[in-house]
Structure 1
Amino acid sequence: MTNCIDPYAFKAAEPDGIINIEGFITTVPKAHRVRVSRADKFGPEFVGLNRGVALAKVLIKDDLGRVEILEEEGSGIYRTSVDFRAEIGRTYNLEVELREGQRYISLPETVVPVPALDSVTFQSVRKPSLERLNDEIGVQVLAHFQDPGDEQNFYFWNLLMSDFQVIGEPELNHNGPNHPTCPRCPNPLECCRICYGQEVPKPTRVITTDDIDFNGNYKRREIAYIEDDGLRFKGIYRLDMQHLSVSPSAHRYLKLVGQQLSVSGTVFDPPPANIRGNFLSLQDTQEEVLGHFIAADEIPIRLYIDGEDLEFVLRPQTLIPTDCRASFRGKTTTAPIDWNP
């Protein structure tokens, strides 16, 4: 009725960590940020949580021997000084040294000028969706520019954190069903109708292209698409983004990232895979290193989109019949300092 159990000493092997470095500098003076992280790797394909790496030395070097030492912010984020900027024609690389001594360096990236924009416009569009009775409505952002005919160009349009108005209907507020004197009676509020929130525009897409099909031609091209969810364009939406020139290797990397982000679960999707960037380990050339360092010329884009100027708008599925601050999107009633529609 009894037996003995001999303990078996077993220790699971720690999964090999895989380093990931994401760096991005442009010709606009500001605090540029680099993220250094490490993910647990299980087998050839699955990568676990991405954790920031602290106490690393992060340097940006150019072909003139100048060095920018980045300051640690926390959570694996390192930033340059607030007045740092890349220069057109200069070549840069990013070097990272971990506190354990491992060193990683990016392949050189040369900054080439980005063609100027003549204008940026927007229009509302309607297209079929997966819901049979409801079309998808959104705003298409278009860039108009002349592509140079004597060189090959690689473009990248990057969406940034954008501000927008959150519109409430405090005049439609009603008492609750358990109000002691007048259940469900109208009870307009004095405040507040307009709030302001922030978001990175949805859906998330990587829009990059080369000029192989339009070299030397005047181009009108979609550079962003923002889906209307019924609340996003009730007021004014301020879109911030970057018009960038990138290197051929950065274009290839971004294109592959875009393909992975567009996976929808169909048989036509590309297989999931880790995308190799332009980083190398100085101790072990066979070590897999993820991420990419990009140095690019930048033209900032700021566009105010007023919902009243749109031909198509999505009828809100839910209203905010109360103070706009009650919405999860409404953060404050104070407009950004530089708000100027």
Structure 2
Amino acid sequence: MRPGLIIILLLVLLSTCVEPFEPEDPGFKSVLVVDGFISNSAEPYTITLSRTAPLSSPGALPEAGAAVSVADEEGGVYLFGETAPGVYQSDPRVFVGHVGAGYQLNIVTASGEQYQSDTVPLKQSPPIDSVYYERELRLTDVEGEVNDGISIFVDAHDSTGQTRFYRYDYTETYEVKLTYPGEWVYDPSQDANVIRNPKLGLCYATHPGGNILVANTSSYAEDRVKKLEVTYVSTGGYKLSGLYSILVKQYALSEPSYRYWYELQKTSESLGTLFDPQPYEIRGNIRKVNDPETAVLGYFDAGAVSEKMLFVDKVTLLGMDIQYPTDPCIARLGYPPTAVEFGLYQQWGYLITAVEPYVMIPAECGDCRYHGTLEKPSFWPR
């Protein structure tokens, strides 16, 4: 046998003997994670309960079957029903928060453990003055490569000077416009095989922002948030391919609440969210009733919400000479490929033309439903 062939056989045998390595975590202890917020809006409020999971687990474990309630300072108790494992919601017909009132979260798990939060005030939030954008070029992780796009900012102030501590989050909604939408779809279950669906070129996608953003004006003479960056949106991808919107929400925080969110912001900037592993324990305002030293992650908070929406149109951006990269589908294909081979129907399934020569396109490039939904949001202006 030739030496080269022997080496190849040895490598194959060795590769079949490799067992997956499962890292041990002898110090792991499951900890309750609580995420809850109530406001003065007449809508369901959500309390999310989960347990931390070991490193080998794909994510947090829902804490199902708990009894969850919120009590006010006047003795009222409002129950939250479990709508999904670990997700508990209030009934807005029964409970709506009021500015100036104090609220306390109470939890009894399915195993009988009792948890309770501090009483938190529901603070008023001043209006958001403006949400706006500016064009900005940013370096990427690839040496010498630059993204074009927009930075989105928020301005706000409280003329009474009573807020001082702010938190922001946002939700993005945008059109997904495809360069080569497929109008003919191969479907082997249909007698005709190729069926017409001309509505695959425009969809709508909605995503909540994932970063934690807080502001503190207590060291300033004026209670004003000025040009705080909410997010950066590049022209890569589909977000700025048509009409883009961002809904920015502002919450007024107490000082203890601000300290919690500020620490969480610092530690989660490189990790993700509250439910991701934390480098050290961040205590919130929730404790186990009969054992206050037991670790509990998360925070129960209350506050009025101010919000403002911004729309950005691609037509306006093009007027600012903003640059868009080559459509990734064009960059990948070079051009819409043509073929009559039956195999390409099965491999890609989407056609721009249904007469020979057939013009083919991969599903993710020809069907906007891979990136969003055909249903237009109720607030969409066009």
How much has 1:234 moved relative to structure 2?
A: 0.8
Is the contact made by 1:325 and 1:331 (CA closer than 8 Å) also made in structure 2? no
How much has 1:196 moved relative to structure 2?
A: 1.2
When the two structures are superposed, what TM-score results if normalisation uses the length of structure 2?
0.71
Question: Is residue 2:146 matched to residue 1:140?
Answer: no
Aligned AA for 2:132? T
Q: Deviations over 1:89-146 (max 9, x none)?
A: 1111111011221110011111221122232222222122322322233322222333
Q: Deviations over 1:141-169 (max 9, x none)?
A: 22233333643510011123x32100012
Which protein has the larger Cα radius of gyration, Structure 1 or Structure 2?
2
Aligned AA for 1:31? P
How much has 1:213 moved relative to structure 2?
A: 4.0
Taking the aligned partners of 2:379 and 2:132, their CA distance within structure 1 comes to 21
How much has 1:288 moved relative to structure 2?
A: 0.7
Taking the aligned partners of 1:262 and 1:238, their CA distance within structure 2 comes to 24
Over 3 Å counting, the alpha-carbon distance change for 1:14 and 1:340 in structure 2 is: same
Over 3 Å counting, the alpha-carbon distance change for 1:316 and 1:24 in structure 2 is: farther
How much has 1:279 moved relative to structure 2?
A: 0.4
- Aligned with 1:216 (options 210, 217, 222): 222
Aligned AA for 1:208? V
- Aligned with 1:285 (options 271, 287, 292): 292
- Aligned with 1:225 (options 227, 231, 235): 231
Q: Deviations over 1:157-212 (max 9, x none)?
A: 1123x32100012379999xxxxxxxxxxxx99444321122224xx321101113
Taking the aligned partners of 1:193 and 1:252, their CA distance within structure 2 comes to 46
Q: How large is the RMSD of aligned CA atoms in angstroms?
A: 3.2
Aligned to 2:88: 78
What secondary structure is seen at the aligned counterpart in 2 of 1:258? helix
Question: Is residue 2:249 matched to residue 1:239?
Answer: no
Query: Which ranges in structure 1 are unaligned for 5 or more consecutive residues?
Result: 1-11, 176-187, 265-270
- Aligned with 2:66 (options 56, 61, 73): 56
Map 1:38-57 to 2 at 5 A.
38-40=51-53, 49-57=59-67
Higher relative contact order (CA 8 A, sep 6+): 1
Question: Is residue 2:205 matched to residue 1:197?
Answer: yes
Is the contact made by 1:168 and 1:319 (CA closer than 8 Å) also made in structure 2? no
Is the contact made by 1:233 and 1:313 (CA closer than 8 Å) also made in structure 2? no
Taking the aligned partners of 1:47 and 1:248, their CA distance within structure 2 comes to 35
Aligned AA for 2:311? Y
Aligned to 1:338: 379
What secondary structure is seen at the aligned counterpart in 1 of 2:100? coil
How much has 1:76 moved relative to structure 2?
A: 0.3
- Aligned with 2:109 (options 91, 95, 98): 98
Over 3 Å counting, the alpha-carbon distance change for 1:48 and 1:192 in structure 2 is: closer
Map 1:169-318 to 2 at 5 A.
169-170=179-180, 190-201=198-209, 204-216=210-222, 218-228=224-234, 229-263=236-270, 272-310=279-317, 311=320, 312-318=322-328
Is the contact made by 2:34 and 2:298 (CA closer than 8 Å) also made in structure 1? yes
How much has 1:88 moved relative to structure 2?
A: 1.0
How much has 1:14 moved relative to structure 2?
A: 11
Aligned to 2:36: 23
Over 3 Å counting, the alpha-carbon distance change for 1:215 and 1:205 in structure 2 is: farther
What secondary structure is seen at the aligned counterpart in 1 of 2:232? strand
Aligned AA for 1:216? E
How much has 1:243 moved relative to structure 2?
A: 1.1
Aligned to 2:47: 34
When the two structures are superposed, what TM-score results if normalisation uses the length of structure 1?
0.79
Is the contact made by 2:130 and 2:308 (CA closer than 8 Å) also made in structure 1? no
Aligned to 2:165: 154
Over 3 Å counting, the alpha-carbon distance change for 1:134 and 1:196 in structure 2 is: same
Aligned to 1:118: 129
Over 3 Å counting, the alpha-carbon distance change for 1:60 and 1:137 in structure 2 is: farther
Is the contact made by 2:282 and 2:297 (CA closer than 8 Å) also made in structure 1? yes
Taking the aligned partners of 2:89 and 2:306, their CA distance within structure 1 comes to 21
Over 3 Å counting, the alpha-carbon distance change for 1:121 and 1:49 in structure 2 is: closer
- Aligned with 2:119 (options 104, 108, 118): 108
Query: Which ranges in structure 2 are unaligned for 5 or more consecutive residues?
Result: 1-24, 186-195, 272-277, 331-335, 337-351, 353-364
Over 3 Å counting, the alpha-carbon distance change for 1:38 and 1:219 in structure 2 is: closer
Taking the aligned partners of 2:219 and 2:282, their CA distance within structure 1 comes to 26
- More helix per residue: 1 or 2? 2
Stretch deviating more after TM superposition (142-151 or 319-328)? 319-328
